Amino acid sequence: MKSKQYILALDQGTTSSRTLVVDHSGKVISVSQKEFKQIYPKPGWVEHDPMDIWSSQSTTEAEALSQADLSHKDIAAIGITNQRETTVVWDKRTGKPVYNAIVWQDRRTADYCAKLKEQGLEPKFSQKTGLRLDPYFAGTKLRWILENVEGAREDAEAGHLLFGTVDSWLVWKLTGGSVHVTDASNASRTLLYNISEQDWDDEILKTFNIPRVMLPEVKGSSEVYGHTSENVPIAGIAGDQHAALFGQACFDVGMAKNTYGTGCFMLMLTGDKPVFSKNNLLCTIAWKIGDKTEYALEGSIFMGGAVVQWLRDEMKMVGSAEEASWLASSVPDANGMYLVPAFAGLGAPHWDPYARGTCVGMTRGTNRAHFCRAAIEAIAYQSADLAESMKKDSGIEIKELRVDGGASRSEPLMQFQSDLLDVHVIRPENVETTAMGAAYLAGLAVGFWESKQDIIDRWKAGAHFKPERPAEEMKALAAGWDRAVERAKAWELPEEES
């Protein structure tokens, strides 16, 4: 009998929406994926149409069920994982967005963040939220909408407008507009949430002039929030990187994962108390299950696999990511060249929104294989910077790094990462860790799986990369990378100085 033997995982990403059907053994039965339009109104601005997000996600949900020859009656619960920080504001009377979703990559609030820093406010924000004053996070994007969309502030103050990250928008749509919630992991990415007190912070809301009535109720990451029109419980929510940490079964303090997606995101579980970073990382809520909240240190890199996409789409050097990986492995090194992909500024641990992409060390002998090698090495160098900062903050040596995401399929990248970190890098058999994390959180909430041990039992190591190159050689290469990064910093001047 099929009934209630499956979990539906909605994986709403930056460039596409996906739905996976997962069975009790943790096997993916079907997958449907649909890309949607990226909108670039001005340099540094990135938007999505929230209705595109919804239609692409609902289309893939129907297709994944159809592929598996299932209906909603066979689904025990729905889990949601989402691109984080992307900001949606909609009118609850009409269900229509008042503006496009402002995407996490968007830099339009860089100057506003700089002004708040000049006022000396960053330490207070960091202590309350674990984050930094950077346009990456949702709070300044929400403020921008209220300040710049005609009538938005008046409607918001009258209680007509709702704010949410993408998870909130999807839950609201799935429940026919009856449930306005987010989970603790997504709330902790807004720059509005006090992660120690676990509540929206009134002082920050006042600074940004954001009406509290707009904000969703903050719930745990694994509980029933509401039901769809087909009466399926929505029972798990986590931001994509938190879901990946959960899907990688990183449940012990000090365990770490790195996701090599559009950007790169390294998280280390630090336990039930926040560890505030002294090395320019973020302190974030990993997840909240029942009464227990667990925290993580996080480093965010804006350009990970996107560097290879740039080589393919803009530079036309390769036709595919696979070709880039093959070319990179055809040369022993980048021939002294470093590519710093600061196309959208630099994330952790530098936090320089005015940095720009830089390529140094080219000679007459530099060819496209060296470019591919330098692009792949840049992803590893940026990740190594994060690992070093984590070690300083936590006092914990990373013993192994669990990896996932599209670029984790690149053998030369994974080997170089292992050499650079001097640790074992492990890619699991099932690299769908983000969607699996959402599935597991939903399944735990409804008793589909009984415990975290069930998840540990289902995690299986796939490829294993061990350090091969001498540590001194890697230190010399890392020193060259540091020099290259310094040349990329503060390239673009703030508007008032340009």
Point out the annotated binding site for glycerol. Answer: 84-85, 136, 240-241
The one-digit pLDDT tens for each residue of the chain (498 residues) are 355 789 999 999 988 999 999 999 999 999 999 989 889 999 889 999 999 999 999 999 999 999 999 999 999 999 999 999 999 999 999 999 999 999 998 989 999 999 999 999 999 999 999 998 989 899 999 999 999 999 999 999 999 999 999 999 999 999 999 999 999 999 999 999 999 999 999 999 999 999 999 999 999 999 999 999 999 999 999 999 999 999 999 999 989 999 998 888 999 999 998 888 888 899 999 999 999 999 999 998 888 888 898 999 999 999 998 898 999 999 999 999 999 999 888 888 888 888 999 999 999 999 999 999 999 999 999 999 999 889 988 888 888 999 998 889 889 999 999 999 999 999 999 888 999 999 999 999 999 999 999 999 999 999 999 999 999 999 999 999 999 999 999 888 765 443
Map tokens 């350009």 to a residue.
Answer: 303
> Residue 320 carries which DSSP code?
S
Measured CA distances, 227 to 6, 50, 174, 184, 429 (Å): 16, 21, 8, 20, 32
Q: What are phi and psi of 149, to 5 degrees?
A: -95, 125
Whether the model pTM is above 0.85: yes
Q: Which residues, 6 or more positions from 53, have their beta carbon under 8 angstroms from its beta carbon?
A: 12, 17, 36, 88, 101, 166, 169, 170
Annotated binding residues for ATP: 14-16, 262, 305, 309, 406
Instruction: In whole angstroms, give the CA distance from residue 298 to residue 404.
Output: 16
Would you say 434 and 84 are in contact if contact means Cβ atoms under 8 Å apart? Answer: no
Q: Which residues pair with 163 in a beta bridge?
A: 89
Strand, coil or helix: 35: strand
Q: Residues within the annotated binding site for ADP?
A: 14, 18, 262, 305, 406
Both tokens of 360, joined, read: 């140094």
Please, is 55 exposed, middle or buried when counting C-beta atoms within 10 Å of its C-beta (0-12, 13-18, 19+)? middle
In the annotated binding site, the residues are 14-16, 18, 84-85, 136, 240-241, 262, 305, 309, 406
